[in-house]
Amino acid sequence: MKLIVNGEALEAKAATLDALLKELDYEGGWLATALNGDVVPAAKRPEFQLSEGDRIEILSPMQGG
């Protein structure tokens, strides 16, 4: 299905957010995710079903002021 991940359009096979992270080679406890503007905690990713056109943000710690 077509998804928007971190602002980029892509085609993915994954049905859940957890599976999408694995498919795109994301791993680690330092990642935070949001789906269509709402936070999805790590523990909820396996049960979060993706739909065509979903917007996903995958963030990690970065320098900040």
Q: Is 19 in the site for other proteins (CB under 8 A)?
A: no
Can you tell me the distance from the alpha carbon of 8 to that of 23, in angstroms, rounded to the nearest whole number? 15
Q: Is 63 in the site for other proteins (CB under 8 A)?
A: yes
Q: Which of 63, 64, 33, 62 is nearest to 50 (CA)?
A: 33
Q: Is 11 in the site for other proteins (CB under 8 A)?
A: no
Contact call for residues 26 and 60 (beta carbons, < 8 A): no
- The interface with other proteins within residues 39-58 (CB under 8 A) comprises 39, 41-42, 57-58
Residue 26 or residue 53: which is nearer to other proteins going by CB? 26
